[in-house]
């Protein structure tokens, strides 16, 4: 699940950068890479980015309200308690 979260983050960032380029410079990076707006590769990339965004919305619901990225919060809390003693 941690790997899926990282992949979803990367795909969502790519989608955000693409929309930023479209909004600011009227340049669609996905269409440029795929050499066309409505070809199979471009549609597949857009669908993957959409699924990644949906995953980032659903994943915290599945994992009890937290998005798991492999970071141990308990370990950090234990280190803080040791430092304060």
pTM over 0.85: no
Report residue 69's pLDDT band, with 50, 70 and 90 as the boundaries: confident
Mean pLDDT of the chain: 85
Report residue 62's pLDDT band, with 50, 70 and 90 as the boundaries: confident
Position 25 pLDDT exceeds 90: yes
- Say if residue 26 is exposed, middle or buried (CB neighbours under 10 Å; 0-12, 13-18, 19+): exposed
Percent above pLDDT 70 for the chain: 85
Distance, CA of 35 to CA of 51 (rounded, Å): 22
């Amino acid at each position: 699940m941690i790997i899926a979260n990282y992949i979803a983050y990367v795909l969502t960032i790519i989608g955000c950068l693409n929309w930023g380029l479209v909004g600011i410079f009227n340049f669609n990076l996905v269409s440029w890479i795929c050499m066309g707006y409505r070809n199979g590769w471009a549609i597949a990339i857009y669908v993957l980015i959409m699924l990644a965004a949906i995953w980032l919305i659903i994943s915290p619901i599945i994992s009890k309200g937290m998005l798991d990225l492999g970071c141990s919060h308990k370990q950090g809390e234990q280190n803080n308690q040791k430092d304060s003693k």
